Each structure stands twice: as structure tokens, then as C-alpha cells.
């Protein structure tokens, strides 16, 4: 006697079969994508490991299939690497921006060279000039995430910058 299924059970069984097929395709795609990202050297090392296993007679059919897939991935990785080497390197974009000086309004006075137009000069900033600088907690003067970099020039640093600017103008 043939076993007949309830129509609802048959529907669930068909849905489960579709889901299993979808998951299987998704897993294989994920594995292939992972191989695309993997470096050819790592792939070559895994191939040699599996081939050693094969020569010892310990390789399963899955290992033998994997060797074939890895060799394809290795060739693909080498081809991608050659294409990248042939492609001309694009220059990194450069950005010109003005750095906001904290306290620039009151920082312009004093010094032998007169007031500095702080917004228009090019200054090489040191970490100590950063508003966020602290000798032990933040020795690089890096701003917190999401905050813009701000600088404050001390009076002696302003005099130093003024002297550098004056030397540039005289030269």
C-alpha cells in the first residue's frame, strides 16, 4: 500500500525541500566568495596540504573535490592579481581644507611681527597644538570620533610661527 500524504504535509515537505536547496546554494556561494577574497598563497598552502593527505591515502572524496575547486580559485586569484598589477594606480585624492583654530579671535595679538592672520597662513601643526592634546591621555592630539580637529596656538608657538612666516617672506 502506497503511503499518501495529507495535502498540508505535502506542501510543507515541498517547502522544506525548496528551503534546503536554497540554503545549499547560499552556502556554496559563500564558500566561493570566501575563496575569491583569500590570497593565492594561502590557497596554494591548503592545496599542498590536501595533496599531501591524498598521497598518504587519507583523503576523502570531499578533499579531492576541494583540491579541484581550490586550484580553480588559485588560478582566479593569480589572474586577478595580474590584472591589478597591469591596471594603472590612481592617485589618491588630495583635499585642501582650512583648519579651524580654536580661540583664533583672541590669539592674534602680540609678538614682534604683529598680529597673525591665523586663518590664511599655512602652519605645520604639532600634536601639542591640538585642543585635544594631553601629554599622557592623548599624546597625539587626536580628536574624539565625530569631532573636527581644532588647534590652539600658545603665545610662544605664535611667535615661532610668525618668525617662520617672516623668514619665508624675506627669502
CA neighbor of 161 nearest in space, from 127, 126, 130: 126
Q: Are 104 and 118 in contact (CB under 8 A)?
A: yes
5 vs 47, higher pLDDT: 47
Residue 134 has pLDDT above 80, yes or no: yes
Q: What is the DSSP string of 8-21?
A: HHHHHHHHHHHHHH
Residue 112 has pLDDT above 70, yes or no: no
Dig out the grid coordinates for 101 from the structure. 583654530
> What is the model's pTM?
0.40
Averaged confidence pLDDT in the chain: 80
Residue 123 has pLDDT above 90, yes or no: no
Calculate mean pLDDT across residues 153-162.
80
Interval 8-27: pLDDT, tens: 999 999 999 999 999 999 99
Amino acid at each position: 500500500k502506497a503511503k499518501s500524504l495529507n495535502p498540508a504535509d505535502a506542501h510543507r515537505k515541498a517547502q522544506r525541500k525548496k528551503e534546503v536547496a536554497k540554503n545549499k546554494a547560499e552556502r556554496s556561494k559563500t564558500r566561493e566568495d570566501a575563496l575569491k577574497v583569500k590570497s593565492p598563497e594561502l590557497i596554494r598552502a591548503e592545496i599542498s596540504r590536501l595533496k599531501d593527505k591524498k598521497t598518504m591515502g587519507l583523503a576523502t572524496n570531499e578533499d579531492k573535490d576541494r583540491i579541484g575547486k581550490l586550484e580553480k580559485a588559485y588560478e582566479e586569484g593569480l589572474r586577478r592579481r595580474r590584472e591589478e598589477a597591469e591596471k594603472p594606480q590612481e592617485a589618491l585624492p588630495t583635499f585642501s581644507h582650512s583648519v579651524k583654530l580654536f580661540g583664533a579671535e583672541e590669539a592674534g595679538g602680540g609678538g614682534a611681527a604683529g598680529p597673525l592672520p591665523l586663518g590664511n597662513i599655512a602652519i605645520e601643526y604639532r600634536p601639542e597644538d591640538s585642543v585635544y592634546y594631553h601629554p599622557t591621555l592623548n599624546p597625539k592630539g587626536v580628536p574624539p570620533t565625530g569631532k573636527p580637529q581644532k588647534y590652539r596656538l600658545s603665545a610662544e608657538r605664535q611667535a615661532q610661527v610668525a618668525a617662520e612666516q617672516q623668514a619665508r617672506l624675506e627669502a
